[in-house]
Structure formats: structure tokens, C-alpha cells
């Protein structure tokens, strides 16, 4: 259970860090590539995490 919480906290931290980087670097007229990479990684992690949760929940319904 602890790993799941750590996983979702890391997703949120990556997303927030990416958004903050994009905002700061766009205000300074710098490249926002690194911020966009963090946002894309966090979105991919959300998709993987939701898929894993769906598989776990579907397996729980079969056993009951």
C-alpha cells in the first residue's frame, strides 16, 4: 500500500515541477523542453497507474 502512495505522490510532484518550470522559463523566454518532458512523464505515469488500478479492481470483482 505504501508503494502506491509513493507512486501517486511522485506523479503529482513531477507534474507540479513541470508546470512551474514551464511558467518560469516561458516568462524568461527560455526553452521549456525540460518542463514539458516532466509533464509528459507524469501523464504517462497517470495512464499506467490508472491501468494498473483497473486491472487490480477487475481481479477483485472476479474473486468475489
Looking at the predicted structure, is the pLDDT value of residue 5 above 80? yes
The pLDDT tens digits of the residues spanning 13-62 come to 999 999 999 999 999 999 999 999 999 999 999 999 999 888 887 887 66
Contacts of 33-36 with CB under 8 Å at 24 or more apart are none
The predicted pLDDT at position 63 comes to 59
Give pLDDT, residue 53. 83
Are 25 and 31 within 8 A, CB to CB?
yes
pTM of the model: 0.81
- How far is residue 31 from each of residues 20, 26, 44, 63, measured CA to CA in Å? 13, 7, 22, 51
DSSP track, 10-22: HHHHHHHHHHHHH
pLDDT at 52: 87
Amino acid at each position: 500500500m505504501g508503494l502506491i502512495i509513493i507512486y501517486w505522490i511522485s506523479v503529482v510532484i513531477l507534474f507540479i515541477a513541470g508546470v512551474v518550470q514551464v511558467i518560469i522559463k516561458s516568462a524568461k523566454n527560455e526553452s521549456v523542453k525540460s518542463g514539458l518532458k516532466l509533464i509528459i512523464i507524469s501523464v504517462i505515469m497517470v495512464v499506467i497507474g490508472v491501468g494498473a488500478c483497473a486491472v487490480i479492481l477487475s481481479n477483485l470483482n472476479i474473486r468475489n
